[in-house]
Structure 1
Amino acid sequence: MGILQAAKTVQRGFKKASSVCEKLGVSISIAYGIIVFLLVFSGVLLRTGFTLQTYAGIRIVRPFAWSEELARWFLVGLAVISASVAFKRKEHVGIELIVEQFPLKLKRTVAVITDLMILFFMVVCLNSSYTVALQAARQTGDVIPISMLWVKMNIPLGFAFMIVHALSDMISQFFPEESV
Structure 2
Amino acid sequence: MQMLEKLSDALDKLAVFLGALILGGVFLLVMSGVVFRITGHNFSLSEELSRWGLVSICFIGSSAALKRKQHVGVNMLLQVLPLGIGKVCVAVSYLAVLTTVAFSAHYSLRAAMCAQGMVGDIVPVSMMYVKLSLPFGMAMMFVHLLYGLFSIPKGKTINSVLIGTQEEV
Q: Normalising to structure 2: TM-score of the pair?
A: 0.87
Paired residues in the alignment total 156
What's the CA shift string for 1:53-94, capped at 9, x where partnerless? xxxxxxxxx221211001100110011111110000000012
TM normalised by structure 1 equals 0.82
1:139 to 108, 111, 118: 118
Match of 1:155 among 131, 134, 142: 134
Q: Report whether the alignment pairs 1:108 with 2:98.
A: no
Is 1:27 matched with 2:6?
Answer: no
Rg comparison, structure with higher value: 1
Q: C-alpha distance in 1, partners of 2:42/2:10?
A: 39
Query: How much does 1:100 deviate?
Result: 2.1
Task: Show CA shifts across 1:75-123 (max 9, x none).
Answer: 1001111111000000001243342243444211111111110111111
Q: In the TM superposition, what is the alpha-carbon distance from 1:174 to its structure 2 partner?
A: 3.0
Q: Which consecutive residues of structure 1, in runs of 5 or more, have no partner in the other structure? A: 1-10, 51-61
The 3 A distance-change label for structure 1 pair 151 and 81 is same
**Structure 2 residue runs without a partner (length 5+):** 156-169
Any runs of at least 4 consecutive aligned residues in structure 1 with deviations exceeding 3 A, and if so which?
101-105
- Distance (Å, rounded) in 2 between the aligned partners of 1:160 and 1:83: 11
Percentage identity across paired residues of the two chains: 35
Q: State the distance in 1 between where 2:13 and 2:68 align.
A: 12
The answer to whether structure 1 residue 16 and structure 2 residue 1 are counterparts is no
Work out whether residues 108 and 134 of structure 2, in 8 Å CA contact, stay in contact via their aligned partners in 1: yes
CA contact (8 A) 2:101 2:138 kept: yes
Once the two structures are superposed, residues 19-40 of structure 1 have per-residue CA deviations (whole angstroms, 9 ceiling, x without a partner) of: 1100110110000000000000
